[in-house]
A = this chain, B = another copy of it.
Amino acid sequence: MNRRWKSKKSAWVAFIYMVGSKTRKTEVNAMITQEKINGILEGYGKDLKIATLCSHTALQIFYGARQEKIKTIGICTKERMKLYESFPLAKPDEFIVVDDPKEIPADELVARNAVLVPHGSLVEYFGKKLENLAVPILGNRNSLLWERDREKMFEWMKNAGLQIPKTFKPEEIDRPCMVKFSGARGGRGYIIVNSQEELDSRVPDQTGITIQEYLIGIRVYPHYFYSPLSRHGYRAGEGKVELMSMDRRVESNIDEAYRLWAVGLTSKPAFTIVGNEPFVIRESLLTGVMEMGKGVVESADRLFGGIPGPFCIEMICDENLQLSAFEISARIVAGTNLYPGSSPYSVYTHGPGMSTGRRIATELKQAAKEKKLAKIVF
């Protein structure tokens, strides 16, 4: 709290006012510039806080930040506050209560030196608003655009050299295909069709859908963390990619469908993610897993300026041990919630006690110390 800090703070409060007013416009399409975000970050100094929406992976993010002694801010609806208050070691230091989880309290966040950590629910609720939001976001906000737009994602996966499922136009469907809708919706509403007729009858509005070959094998979800700053990990671009952990998603009702059949019941398959279970992959496949992570990192560098922070490649391992990707999540995924303490992979880099939530905090701390926040926040 010395004078230098004070003056910076004032300068920045003025600055924010201006930016903040911008975000109140209903339609803004241009993305905010890195310069503006850097300006905000300069105002923060070293004393930054971690903010996120109270959902998805927020407990892990808050707990990890607390382990690193970084203050936290929970953007929270009133009805959820009781939950987040009830975990003494994972509750945010401060709440910003919102009526609608789709409203981002940009001004309040910047006034508190907050870096926003995006997760699946936050991306789903805030949507395109994140593009020109005048709040520093952990990672590269461009990646969220590439994640949301299925055509861009396919371009990204191809550019990364990943083996991916065949995609079809409606008129090309000649085998069972998965139909996905735009946005992260936790798997809700995915359907399988066998023909264009079935597609037309079941999906009247085909805007933004993706039609993918249904891949046969075991689903595997490795959780990566890309750091342009770290000295440890799997070389990728100018930094390192780390394997934090791994899970398999559990979807209702498909993942207990066999129990129904066994007792003479049937039901339409549904793919709503309800949770996660731990998993480790055959060690001989790890080189492939890491090369895929490296491919995604370096492709992100080429296509839109990089993907610092956590991400996930959703993949299938077939019976010949071939790994195919069917999606990228350009942010922390919920499977990491299995490992707020330790994981069977992060111990090999950090020893016990390193979660993805905590890794975010250590990365921010290091970047702040080395004055490299602009490398990992935009």
Contacts and interface: CB of A to CB of B under 8 A. Distances in A.
Interface in A267-323: 267, 269-287, 290, 317-321
B88 A272 contact: no
Contacts of A251: 218
A96 interface: no
A97 interface: no
Interface string A191-234: 01010000000000000000000101111100000000000111
B272 A321 contact: yes
Interface stretch (A23-31, A342-350, A365-373): A342-350
A181 interface: no
B192 A263 contact: yes
A348 B339 CA distance: 12
Contact of A214 (B220, B265, B348): B265
A353 interface: yes
Interface in A62-100: 63, 79-80, 82-83, 86-90
14 contacts: A59-B348, A80-B287, A82-B290, A87-B349, A121-B283, A218-B252, A218-B255, A219-B256, A254-B259, A272-B319, A274-B282, A275-B317, A278-B338, A283-B337
Q: Is the interface of A mostly helix, strand, loop or mixed?
A: mixed
A39 interface: no
Nearest to A350: B89
A89 B351 contact: yes
A340 interface: yes
The number of times this chain is found in the oligomer is: 3
Given A86-B233, A274-B281, A278-B277, A263 B58 contact: no
A248 B277 contact: yes
Contacts of A259: 254-255, 257, 269
B263 A269 contact: yes
Given A56-B283, A218-B250, 10 more contacts: A87-B232, A88-B349, A89-B347, A218-B274, A246-B275, A254-B259, A257-B259, A270-B319, A273-B282, A277-B278
Interface of A: 55-59, 63, 79-80, 82-83, 86-90, 121, 176, 178, 186, 188, 192, 194, 214, 216-220, 232-235, 240, 246, 248, 250-265, 267, 269-287, 290, 317-321, 334, 337-342, 344, 347-353
Contacts of A317: 252, 274-275
Contact of A253 (B216, B257, B274, B353): B216
Contacts of A188: 319
Contacts of A232: 86-88
Given A214-B265, A218-B275, A258-B258, A252 B348 contact: no
A267 to B, nearest CB: 5
Q: Which 5 residue pairs across A and B have the least CB separation, nearest first?
A: A270-B319, A90-B348, A87-B348, A192-B263, A262-B269
Contacts of A246: 275
Tell which of A282, A320, A337, A340 has the most Cβ of chain B within 10 Å: A282
